[in-house]
Amino acid sequence: MWEISTKQWILFTASALLSFKIILIPAYVSTDFEVHRNWMAVTWNRPLAEWYTENTSEWTLDYPPFFAFFEFALAHVAHFLGIDGILEISSTPKFSQQILFFQRFSVIFMDVFYILACALYAFHSPKLTDRIPVKLRPNARQACFVLLAALPTLLLCDSIHFQYNSMLTSLFLISMYFVDCERYLMAALSFSVLLNFKHIYVYYALGYVFFYLINYFRFSGVAGFVKENFPKALLLAASLLFPFLFSLLPFIHVDGFQALQNIAIRLFPVSRGLTHAFWAPNFWALYNFADLLLYRILSIMEVGKFDAPTYTSGLVQEYSHSVLPNISPVGTLFLVTAVSTTVLFGLIFGKGKDFSLFAVLSALSFFYFGYHVHEKAIILITVPMTIFAIKDPKYLRHLVHISTISSFTVFPLIFTLMEIPIKYAVAIAYFLLLLAMIKHFTRMPLWDVLPKRHVIAFGILTIAEFYHTFIHHRLFSGRLPFAPLMAISVLNAFEVTAFFVSLFWNTFLDGIIETTWQKGACRVREQLIRDSLYPVQTIEDEEDVQLVAGVDISASKTNPDTVVISMSVWKYPTCEHVKTVADTRILRVPYIPQYLAIREAETLAEFVKDVMKRFPHLRPDVLMCDGFGQYHSRDCGMACHVGALTGVPSIGVAKNLTLHHIYDNVGAKNKLKVDRFVDNVRLQLKSNKPAQSYIPFDFVLPVKLNIIRMGSSMSGVFVSAGYGIDLELATKISVRMLQNNTTCEPIRAADLSSRELVRKHFDSDGSKKKRD
Amino acid sequence: MQSRSIANLVPKRYSFIPNSFIPKQFYFTTVLFRTVPFRTVLLRSKFYIAAVLLHFSSIPRANKIDKSYVALTSSRGLETIAHKMFMRVSAILPFYLIYIPTLVYLISGKSVMHSVFALFYPGLLVIDNGHFQYNSVSLGLFLAMILCLFRNRVYLGSVFFVAALNYKQMELYHALPVFVFILSKSVNKTEPMQSLIKIIKIGMVVICSFILLWLPFIATGTIQDVLIRIFPFNRGIYEDKVASFWCAFSVVLKRLPIQNIQIHISTAMVLLSSSVSLVRLFLKPSTRNFKLTLVTTSLSFFLFSFHVHEKTILLAVIPAILLLPEYPEHVLWMLNISNISLFDLCLKDNSTSFVFFFFFYFLVSFSFVKNSGKTSKIHFVSVLLGFFLCASQLYGPRIPRFPHLYQLGNAFYCCIHFIYFLIFFTLESFRKV
């Protein structure tokens, strides 16, 4: 469409975002605005020793030292610009146009760094596009850049609510970039710097630990283990401790170890409740909700006496549960560690999982079970999730899910009337942007990333949000202010839970449980197919056949999960081409030997159904699949599955003869006999055309396969009946459609078109998937 | 000004409103151009009529929501947040309902970037959503008219134009080229009788729709009051420091003894400067010539006519946007200069940070022009100098003897550019394609 270079992508995106943020300057600011102003004043007016003890204002400095240094530097800039009014310590908030502009511009200035960090990661990370088809790689990089730079949660939190999250996220992106470059020490160093800016990033710590365990250290043998890894460990420890040295030594120097204690008290305040004023959508939101429900029910039933809950007051305070047991901070820490260790330990044994997944799972466990979690912390999940979904497109629907949920989660942060439309517009715009970008680099149909369940969930959340903003205060005129917030929080918590479960399920899919489950499900389905329990419009006579369609599937070389499916419809018996339809899909299930149908059949069938819905006049009477039908170790090949799932009679037309299940059947002794039989067939077909124009494979009875043509090796045209058709008719149709080519025309056309599209969209040379 | 719009009942300058509404539109448009099917869907439905009805019914709607919004006199200066919200939304809706779909439809073709530049044009956003006006309605109707004329639906087109003209009398700037274009299209030399009938038919349609729109005022006999409000000849030749010829050269002109006949001179100059391309349009009524003439005529009105606002530059810029595919560099240059000419307005509205918006727009547009091969350094230097003028307006040393020196400098600078564009586009209409 239009060619624009990488530099222009960066320029265009940055221009749009920065102008948008500059226009947002007069928008509403939260108390965080005064918090940051006060920190600037404290660091400017007080000596280092008093930074963490000064308490004129209630908004005391409670970020680690690097952030304090950052505020100190900002204070210098403000002083240089002559805005000294901003640097006054006062117990009441100070506000003026000058202060507003200075602080807003400091955020926007740091945003420039964030956009550059996004560009660095998106356009230079060596591992970002390994699993993307070659021709789509530039698109994926562009998508990654735009999606990261325009994250709505960051935008709402920084440019309206007022915080410096973009700056911190840029440090994390730099760390991830180093991880991708396999420069692990630099990555550890930048992560440690990040920790010294804001301690919430400890959410990622366990992810780093487990990733480094397998990727940084070497496990060659028991004997040399310590000797080999000891220097590496020392280096790693040094690069982790180096930033701490810089951040803590000045304080120790002026005030001894008392300073450390002061900092620790500020950083980890104990007198906060299990949940924040607005419950972050995690496990404890559900826990509180369950407690409230139990309290109400038991109070009404007058079973025992309980204290009324206080966690719905909307204040930050310690509280106790009414019915359920109280949760202590240590308890949550234990839970977090246990969960993330289990999950991440599982990842270690999965092969070659990317660091972004470690980061997602680590942050997710902390977010889900952590003590006093802020809703804003969901940014920590969405950032690595965006990257992970681009690295592995199988997870795109998870990305759409969590990024939409994250928008809903931060909505309650912004509640002033003038900003309400802005937050909605930002969220909707990002949602559309996300879909557009997914289309940009996968070419997939979009319903694929929007399963019905998610759409329904989004709908319910939208209704709840709408009710909260527009209807609730009219109905109750100020009473029960927390009820809709609680509803949103609990609904979000459900969705986050679903996300966690689904992520877990998909990640450990190639584990034993999932494979067994899939195999079992497949066997059940095959039994149903053998019993002919699926509805199908059977064909008994040749005259019923008017349209024959061939379907085929071609995979990208670089990522065998991205495939092009093609369906070609032909007239019967005249063998005229009608139409060929093709589309891109992603296969979610890995290949399990002997069970190809698990991987491909459902996607294929869905595609065929989709085509029949879009073009009702193209509904074929017979479907030809590249592969076997009833000639199969369990009498149920790909073609049977597709036929049963679509309700269209199907024929399996294979190009290569496989004999292993015949060998298994007849035993090793008779192997030679089988080979001799096949050789015989080949000779017969070569020498002179037999009367029937095909030879039945009657070595084993009943006959499941007819051989129409056979080349020098095992290649040829092998027809077996699929679903809802008998072998004789299937062979008759196949022979008619064969013409003079190596395989039946519809299949050949579908094959050519899918390969062509793979070549055009994915990589220069499409490769076929192996068949079972 | 807008006698039938509710804007008349409340103060016009909304400079005190945080301009946080533009961002909403702004962010939304970033993705709008990517979602392709919306424009066909929107165009197919009869959204124009719905939108026009919706807008004309805004008085009863406001009444329904809160009577205090439309109470005569006492609603002046009303400033509740809910009311601001209502006003802002009422200006945003027509932008999406009328203006955007038509513009995108007209301009879509070779490059998506053209649509991007059209949608993001800061001038309209700043005036409609920052300063507060309802230009997107009249401009949207005007664009709908162009769309109809391009598709040879002359009657519908003239109805749209009458609607636009009656929404905002500034559309008179476009009246001449529209008239000439329709006339020239209808005239068929071989069949004079038929062309006469066609012209009469079109005239009937125009008159009927006029009467229909003015019916309430005819019935109450208040036409004269309305006309006096609409054409304020007693207001002077220009308002504030605007980049028109009269203002930019006022240093010289005010020493000449022409004050009494100024109105005649200005009319003559408008007609003279636009006549060249109008004649050309009559002889060769191609779509390109039509667009070019729309630009040149409205530019001559802007430069030479009586009582000009800085906002009126929109009327020249919007048809120029339609020429983006043909003259990307000159059009983008003109858009950037028009942004600079609007800076004074932003300054008065206390929303100077818009200059960043202008600047980023300039960066992106220049990068686009540079990429497409044809580029001249003058474009870059001239716009950059314009931004320098804006900066000096903000931070330059104050000279007590000339309090409006910088404003006048800006106006003069932009005026020279507009004269150049006028000449350039006039000459272009003679070039064979």
- Do the Cβ atoms of A422 and B24 come within 8 Å? yes
Is residue A567 within 8 Å of A751, Cβ to Cβ? no
Per-residue DSSP letters for A73-101?
Answer: HHHHHHHHHT-GGGG---SS----HHHHH
A611 or A133: which leads in pLDDT: A611
B363 contacts in chain A (CB < 8 Å): 11, 15
> Minimum mean pLDDT among A448-457, A636-645, B419-428: which range?
A636-645
Most B CBs within 10 Å, among A5, A23, A419, to test the B interface: A23
B249 contact partners, CB below 8 Å, separation of at least 6: B412, B415
HEC secondary structure over A185-221: HHHHHHHHHHHHHCHHHHHHHHHHHHHHHHHCCCCCC
Q: Within 10 Å of residue A744's Cβ, how many Cβ atoms?
A: 27
pLDDT at A270: 67
Q: Which two tokens stand for residue A259?
A: 């300073």
pLDDT bracket for residue A691 (50, 70, 90): low
Please say if the pLDDT value at position A485 is more than 50.
Answer: yes
- Do the Cβ atoms of B20 and A1 come within 8 Å? no
pLDDT at B71: 55
> Minimum mean pLDDT among A99-108, A280-289, B6-15: which range?
B6-15
Residue of chain B whose Cα is closest to the Cα of A14: B360
pLDDT bracket for residue B133 (50, 70, 90): confident
What's the rounded mean pLDDT across residues A516-522? 78
Tokens 């391309």 correspond to what residue? B277
Please say if the pLDDT value at position B76 is more than 60.
Answer: no
pLDDT above 90: percentage of residues in chain A: 33
Residue of chain B whose Cα is closest to the Cα of A416: B81
Please say if the pLDDT value at position A381 is more than 80.
Answer: yes
In what helix (H) or strand (E) does residue B88 lie, and over which residues does it extend? Answer: helix B81-94
**Of A19, A26, A418, Cβ closest to residue B360:** A19
Please say if the pLDDT value at position A286 is more than 90.
Answer: yes
pLDDT (tens digit per residue) in A718-756:
888 888 888 888 888 888 887 766 778 888 888 888 888
Across all residues in chain A, what is the average pLDDT?
85
Residue of chain A whose Cα is closest to the Cα of B21: A422
A91 contact partners, CB below 8 Å, separation of at least 6: A56, A57, A58
pLDDT at B1: 32
pTM for the model: 0.80
Of residues A649, A648, A708, A720, the one with CA closest to residue A681: A708
Q: How many CA atoms lie within 13 A of A591 on its CB side?
A: 10
Is residue A461 within 8 Å of A409, Cβ to Cβ? no
pLDDT bracket for residue B7 (50, 70, 90): very low
What's the rounded mean pLDDT across residues B295-299? 95
What's the rounded mean pLDDT across residues A391-413? 92
A505 or B313: which leads in pLDDT: B313
Cα gap A23→A1, rounded to integer Å: 31
Q: Position A274: which residue type? A: L
In what helix (H) or strand (E) does residue A284 lie, and over which residues does it extend? Answer: helix A283-301
A2 contacts in chain B (CB < 8 Å): 111-113
- Do the Cβ atoms of B364 and A11 come within 8 Å? yes
Of residues A240, A242, A244, A221, the one with CA closest to residue A232: A240
**Max mean pLDDT range (A210-219, A359-368, A617-626, B15-24):** A359-368
Beta bridge partners of A562: A586
B87 contacts in chain A (CB < 8 Å): none
Tokens 């430069």 correspond to what residue? B303
pLDDT bracket for residue B178 (50, 70, 90): very high
What's the rounded mean pLDDT across residues B66-84? 61
Instruction: Return the SS3 of A307.
Output: coil
What's the rounded mean pLDDT across residues B31-39? 38
Across all residues in chain B, what is the average pLDDT?
79
Cα gap A70→A87, rounded to integer Å: 14
Report CA Rg, chain B: 21
Q: Which two tokens stand for residue B179?
A: 């008239």
pLDDT at A741: 66
pLDDT at A561: 80
Cα gap A453→A351, rounded to integer Å: 30
Most B CBs within 10 Å, among A19, A433, A470, to test the B interface: A19
Distance of alpha carbon A157 from the chain centroid: 23
pLDDT (tens digit per residue) in A306-349:
777 777 776 677 777 888 888 888 888 899 989 888 888 777 77
Q: Which two tokens stand for residue A418?
A: 């003038």
Instruction: Return the SS3 of B45.
Output: coil
pLDDT at A619: 86
pLDDT bracket for residue B204 (50, 70, 90): very high
Beta bridge partners of A563: A555, A585
- Do the Cβ atoms of B30 and A25 come within 8 Å? no
pLDDT at A643: 87
Distance of alpha carbon B413 from the chain centroid: 20
Is residue A138 within 8 Å of A128, Cβ to Cβ? no
- Do the Cβ atoms of A417 and B364 come within 8 Å? no
Give phi and psi for A65, each to the nearest 5.
Answer: -55, -35
Q: Position B140: which residue type? A: G
pLDDT at A771: 37
Q: Parse chain B into domains and list their residue ranges.
A: 6-186+232-428
pLDDT (tens digit per residue) in A242-268:
999 999 999 999 888 888 888 888 888
Beta bridge partners of A717: A709
What's the rounded mean pLDDT across residues A538-558? 83
pLDDT at A511: 57
pLDDT at B360: 93
pLDDT at A575: 82
- Note whether B27 contacts A: Cβ–Cβ < 8 A: yes
Instruction: Return the SS3 of A3.
Output: coil
Give phi and psi for A709, each to the nearest 5.
Answer: -150, 150
pLDDT at B411: 92
Please say if the pLDDT value at position A683 is more than 50.
Answer: yes
A685 contact partners, CB below 8 Å, separation of at least 6: A695, A707, A709, A710, A716
A688 or A218: which leads in pLDDT: A218
B19 contacts in chain A (CB < 8 Å): 23, 26
> Minimum mean pLDDT among A69-83, A101-115, B119-133: which range?
B119-133
Q: Within 10 Å of residue A532's Cβ, how many Cβ atoms?
A: 12
pLDDT at A772: 35
What's the rounded mean pLDDT across residues A164-185? 94
pLDDT (tens digit per residue) in A429-444:
999 999 999 988 887 7
pLDDT bracket for residue A500 (50, 70, 90): very high
Cα gap B225→A646, rounded to integer Å: 73
pLDDT (tens digit per residue) in A745-755:
888 888 888 88
pLDDT at A433: 93
Beta strand pairing call for A547-555 and A562-571: antiparallel
Q: Which two tokens stand for residue B85?
A: 């919200």
pLDDT at A41: 93
A115 contact partners, CB below 8 Å, separation of at least 6: A10, A13, A14, A17, A18, A149
Is residue A393 within 8 Å of A294, Cβ to Cβ? no
pLDDT (tens digit per residue) in B230-284:
776 666 667 777 888 888 888 888 888 777 788 888 889 999 999 999 999 999 8
B382–chain A nearest CA distance, Å? 20
**Sign of dihedral through CA atoms A186, A189, A194, A195?**
positive
pLDDT (tens digit per residue) in B363-413:
998 888 887 666 678 888 999 999 999 999 888 888 888 888 888 999 999
B407–chain A nearest CA distance, Å? 23
Q: For B287-341, where are the alpha helices, taking DSSP H only?
A: 287-304, 313-322, 328-341
pLDDT above 70: percentage of residues in chain A: 95
A264 contact partners, CB below 8 Å, separation of at least 6: none
Tokens 């920590």 correspond to what residue? A380
- Do the Cβ atoms of B111 and A2 come within 8 Å? yes
Please say if the pLDDT value at position B125 is more than 60.
Answer: yes
3-class SS shares of chain B: helix, strand, coil, % to 5: 75, 0, 25
Q: Which two tokens stand for residue A342?
A: 């289990």
pLDDT (tens digit per residue) in A596-632:
777 888 888 888 888 888 888 888 888 888 888 888 8
- Do the Cβ atoms of A432 and B35 come within 8 Å? yes
B33 or A191: which leads in pLDDT: A191
